[in-house]
Amino acid sequence: MNKWIKFAVTVASAAIPGVAQIETIARSMPALKGKAKQDAVVELIKASVLASESVADRDLLNDPDVEKATRAIVDAVVAFQNIVARKQQS
């Protein structure tokens, strides 16, 4: 598998549990909202990717374009969760 595809899959795979973990923490910390929550998820994803040794170059995780894409993945996961929650309420 291409190393970039593997990296992208690793980031995306870390996003779903990362969002869930931060949402759980945010329930007990009402001040954790918006960008602060997103920042926490992004940092959790970075730590997860580094721990899985899927990326040898730490600079790649700190690249502005990679971080922007990671935030887009987080936003997409949150948007999907919100849609599912609304559908379950109707």
What is the token pair recorded at 29? Answer: 């910390």
Q: Which of the pair, 61 or 46, is modelled with greater confidence?
A: 46
Residues 42 and 70 sit within 8 Å (Cβ to Cβ): yes
pLDDT(57) > 70? no
pLDDT given at position 5: 85
When divided into structural domains, the chain yields a total of 1
Amino acid at 43: E
Summarised one tens digit per residue, pLDDT across range 7-52 is 888 899 999 999 999 999 999 999 999 999 999 999 999 998 888 7
Q: How far apart are CA 77 and CA 54, in angstroms?
A: 21
pTM confidence score: 0.85
pLDDT(82) > 90? yes
Q: How far apart are CA 48 and CA 63, in angstroms?
A: 16
User: Where are the alpha helices (H) located in the chain, listed in sequence order?
Assistant: 3-28, 34-51, 58-62, 64-89
Residue span of the structural domain in which 63 resides: 3-89
